Structures are given as C-alpha cells and as structure tokens.
Amino acid sequence: MVHLLITQKVWPVAGTFRIARSALTEIHTVWVTLTDGHYQGRGECRPYARYGDNVESVTAEIEALRPRIEGGMRLRELQFALPPGPARNALDCAMWDLEAKRQGTSVTALLPAPPPQSRQTAFTLSLDTPEGMADAAIAAKQYPLLKIKIGHEHGLECVRAVYAARPDADLIVDANEAIAPDELHNFYDQVAHLRIALIEQPITAGTERVGQLPQGPIPFCADESLHTVDDLAALSSFGYRAVNVKLDKCGGLSAAHALMQRAKADGFSVMAGCMVASSLAMAPMMILESYADYIDLDGPLLLAKDCEDGLVYDKGIIRPPSAALWG
C-alpha cells in the first residue's frame, strides 16, 4: 500500500525574475510524496500559466488519481493515465525515486542511463534594461555560460550590452516568443557574429512555418514549441536545430529519457532545461545530463532559498544529486 501526500510550496525569488511575458517575486510548486511504510519517493513540478496550469489544477489532476496511485499504479500505467505536463512529471519522478529506494539502487541503474557527471550549467540573467543586464553579467563573472532573457523592446541592445560586458562568456539568447516574425532575419543578421551558442524560441510557438527560421552559424532552439517526441519532425522542418527538454513540459523523467534520446538520434542538439524551482525539480533532469549538449539547471540559484539537501553548485558547475535529495 502506498500513501500519497500532495503539498503546495512557495519559494521566494532572489529579487525579481523577469522574462518577456511575466515578472515574478515568488514561485509556486507542487510536491508529491509517495510512502510505503518503509521508503519514500518525492517529485516536484512547477505549474506554468503559459500552458494553462496552476497549483490548484495540477493538485486536482493528481488527487483524481489517488485511488489508483495508492492501489499500486505502476510507472507504465501513469504514462497513459495523465497527459504530458507538470502533474505527470511530479508523480513520475516520485515513482522513480520510490522504486530506486525500494530496490536499494539508483534511478540511473534502473533506467538504465550513464552515471551522471558534474557539468557546467547556464546562469540566467533576467530581462532588464541593457545597462542593467550588463551590470548583472559582470556580477555573474563566475559563470562562463549565460542565458539572456530578452523582450520585444531593446532585445538587440540587451544582447550587445551583455556581449560587451562579458566577451569571455558564451551566450544563450532566450526571447520567450518575443521577437516579431518580420524582425527575425534582421535580428539574426545583427547577432550572427557574436559569441552566441543558441537563440531560444524567438517567435510564438505554433506560428512557425516550414523553413521560416534563418540558417547560419547560430542554431535556433525550440522551447515553448517542444513538448513531446511527436513535435520533433515539425520543429526540424521549421528550421530548429536544438530543443530544450523540460520535465514539466514532456511529463516526467520517463518521457524526458525517451525524448532526449530521440532528439539526439534525429540530429538535434539537446538542452536539459528547467522551470524555476527547487533542487528537487532539477535532480531528475541532472540524472539525464549525459544526453544533453547544454545544461540549464540553474533554478535554485534564482531562489532566495532552496530545499534541504539541495544540489551543490560551484562557480557554475552543478554536481549530481545526493541520494538524500533524489534518485
């Protein structure tokens, strides 16, 4: 018999986290805890308004499955019981964690996947004025890979300001759908000579056309446009050459494992990404780091506080999670 506990958490942000569509001072997440009397498994999800989710809707989705979960639902059944999204993510990760502890092994061994290694993670600079972002880039001098959040206004100026402030850093430019399609080619031409690794989700998901994205030295990365394996073929036809895989979009570790392998096989570069949340939400994706070309798991670094037994970060290097945290 398994007992299900659903807990809503509030995490204060370190300052304000701004992107093109929102500005947040706190983050709301949902924790799932599964216990069998001897062992405990946990998972965290971050419901995201962009996809029509909130903590109440996600809690209700999970609660509706309580009889089946407490009756012994297995991981495979879960994949068909809920659609891709945060509710399935939290449950999926909690089930993996519980099973690993029951068997006295690791999630890595159960998947199976290569043992995770310490990796360089991107560090995110919130949307601000060009001057503000330049100052933030200088303050983040210990991070050699910076993700820049830009909006419709002054986006190009922000990129140039950060590049001038930190010419030593590799940059990921994340527009969060804020660039107008008729401005995209000019934007690309203006930044193509800079030290940019990726341009992430420049235009609104679902509005892309075949061959619409410019092709050149900087690949475009799909974020809001990517949820499951079924999206990959269309993304390739639009011109995306990289994808940002997030547990809360695809629906958990099980789906992310399959999605990352398929994306690599299809020729995409892969980013292991996250919503802003605690270390418990990052840990399962860190287990899959071997499938990722880029790691963007800085969520806890953007919070004023983290959960207990949180991930260890050292000058942008993120270490694999401890067994006390997850997995």
Structure tokens, 135: 């100052």
**How does 188-226 read in b/e, with b if 16+ C-beta sit within 10 Å?**
beebeebebbbbbbbbebeebeeebbbeeebbbbbbbbb
**Identity (one letter) of the amino acid at 99?**
E
Residue 230, domain member (yes or no): yes
Q: Are residues 182 and 277 in the same domain?
A: yes
Q: Are residues 150 and 287 in the same domain?
A: yes
Final residue belonging to a domain, choices 51, 71, 104: 104
Residue 109, domain member (yes or no): no
Tens place of pLDDT per residue across the chain (327 aa): 899 999 999 999 999 999 988 888 999 999 999 999 999 999 999 999 999 999 999 999 999 999 999 999 999 999 999 999 999 999 999 999 999 999 999 999 999 999 999 999 999 999 999 999 999 999 999 999 999 999 988 999 999 999 999 999 999 999 999 999 999 999 999 999 999 999 999 999 999 999 999 999 999 999 999 999 999 999 999 999 999 999 999 999 999 999 999 999 999 999 999 999 999 999 999 999 999 999 999 999 999 999 999 999 998 999 999 999 999
Q: How many structural domains does the chain have?
A: 2
- Taking alpha carbons only, the member of 99, 90, 21, 35 closest to residue 62 is 90
Q: Are residues 169 and 70 in the same domain?
A: no
Q: Are residues 140 and 233 in the same domain?
A: yes
Which pLDDT score, from 0 to 100, does residue 272 have? Answer: 98
Which H or E run includes 23?
A: strand 22-35
Which pLDDT score, from 0 to 100, does residue 23 have? Answer: 86
CB atoms within 10 A of CB 315: 9
For position 256, which CATH number holds?
3.20.20.120
Residue 206, domain member (yes or no): yes
Residue 136, domain member (yes or no): yes
CA dist 223 and 312 (Å) reads: 26
Which pLDDT score, from 0 to 100, does residue 152 have? Answer: 87
Q: Are residues 44 and 137 in the same domain?
A: no
Residues with Cβ within 8 Å of 182's Cβ and at least 6 positions away in sequence, in order, are none
Residue 30, domain member (yes or no): yes
CB 223 within 8 Å of CB 174: yes
CB 231 within 8 Å of CB 256: no
Q: Are residues 188 and 310 in the same domain?
A: yes
Q: Are residues 63 and 128 in the same domain?
A: no
Residue 228, domain member (yes or no): yes
CA dist 247 and 43 (Å) reads: 11
- Taking alpha carbons only, the member of 101, 104, 159 closest to residue 133 is 159
For position 57, which CATH number holds?
3.30.390.10
CA dist 14 and 120 (Å) reads: 21
Q: Are residues 74 and 146 in the same domain?
A: no
Q: Are residues 89 and 237 in the same domain?
A: no
Q: Are residues 184 and 292 in the same domain?
A: yes
Q: Are residues 239 and 287 in the same domain?
A: yes
Q: Using alpha carbons only, give the angle 326, 51, 286 rounded to the nearest 5 degrees.
A: 25
Any bridge partners for residue 41, and if so which?
34
Range of the domain at 306: 119-318
Final residue belonging to a domain, choices 54, 74, 104: 104
Q: Are residues 168 and 252 in the same domain?
A: yes
Q: Are strands 170-174 and 145-149 parallel, antiparallel or unpaired?
A: parallel
CA dist 317 and 274 (Å) reads: 16
Residue 223, domain member (yes or no): yes
- Taking alpha carbons only, the member of 82, 101, 116 closest to residue 41 is 101
Structure tokens, 13: 């942000």
Final residue belonging to a domain, choices 104, 139, 167: 104
**Identity (one letter) of the amino acid at 327?**
G
Give the active site residues.
149, 246
CA dist 56 and 262 (Å) reads: 33
CB 89 within 8 Å of CB 45: yes
Q: What is the dihedral of CA 72, 77, 82, 85, to 10 degrees?
A: 100
Residue 323, domain member (yes or no): no
